[in-house]
């Protein structure tokens, strides 16, 4: 399925980050992480479901024997905003004590999900804890971010694609696009 197919979809607006720009930036982040973590390969912690596409590309762009784990969180709130109340739906398999943990996030909007996650993971005594977020929405943060790695800063529109969904749809778009369809009721 190519990108043109999706352009004619009525619920989808303009491309915010194109596939080739995603690929180029993921390569750069991978190279930077490879350099920064020489001699101490990180445990990548992907935050499901949104990070699954980004993490699979990023992991292959890192030339170190990384380990991979995933956790799933659900935030209560309406279809397109977060309340900041986060529930762990699937916890990690790994013990984080003494590990160099690199959290891989799809998008940071208010920052509330991330700040909750960071507190919870730090309590498990990792040797280090850093965050790599593909997207950060401009001027939306209500919690301090402290992101070690960021892919792109984007305007505060609701976006889908490259792992990001609305009501579980559009995670498989190759680009990141503005969502212009109806807001789903939860």
Residues near ligand IMP (CB under 6 A)? 50, 75, 82, 106-114, 158-160, 164
Q: Which is nearer to ligand IMP, 164 or 173 (CB)?
A: 164
Q: Is 57 an active-site residue?
A: no
Paired with 86 in beta bridges are: 75
Catalytically annotated residue among 36, 109, 146, 175: 109
Q: Which is nearer to ligand IMP, 66 or 159 (CB)?
A: 159
Q: How far is the CB of 142 from Mg ion (least distance, A)?
A: 17
| Helix segments in the chain, DSSP class H | 3-7, 19-36, 52-61, 112-122
Q: Which is nearer to ligand IMP, 57 or 109 (CB)?
A: 109
Nearest-angstrom CA–CA distance, 100 and 49 = 22
User: CB under 5 to 8 A by kind: which of Mg ion, ligand IMP, none does 113 bind?
Assistant: ligand IMP
Sign of the torsion formed by the C-alpha atoms of 23, 34, 103 and 72 = positive
Nearest-angstrom CA–CA distance, 129 and 114 = 12
Q: How far is the CB of 148 from ligand IMP (least distance, A)?
A: 16
Nearest-angstrom CA–CA distance, 82 and 99 = 29
Site for Mg ion, rule CB under 5 A: 50
Catalytic residue annotation: 109
């Amino acid at each position: 399925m190519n990108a043109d197919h999706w352009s004619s979809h009525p619920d989808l607006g303009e491309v915010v980050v194109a596939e080739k720009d995603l690929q180029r930036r993921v390569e750069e982040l991978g190279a930077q992480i490879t350099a920064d973590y020489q001699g101490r390969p990180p445990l990548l912690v992907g935050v499901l479901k949104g990070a699954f596409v980004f993490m699979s590309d990023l992991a292959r762009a890192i030339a170190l024997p990384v380990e991979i784990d995933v956790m799933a969180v659900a935030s209560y709130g309406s279809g397109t905003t977060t309340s900041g109340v986060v529930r762990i739906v699937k916890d990690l398999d790994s013990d984080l004590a003494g590990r160099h943990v690199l959290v891989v996030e799809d998008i940071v909007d208010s920052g509330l999900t991330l700040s909750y996650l960071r507190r919870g993971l730090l309590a498990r005594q990792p040797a280090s804890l850093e965050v790599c977020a593909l997207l950060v929405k401009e001027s939306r943060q209500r919690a301090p971010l402290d992101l070690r790695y960021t892919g792109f800063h984007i305007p505060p529109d609701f976006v889908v694609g490259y792992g990001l969904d609305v009501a579980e749809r559009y995670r498989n778009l190759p680009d990141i696009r503005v969502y212009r369809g109806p807001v789903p009721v939860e």
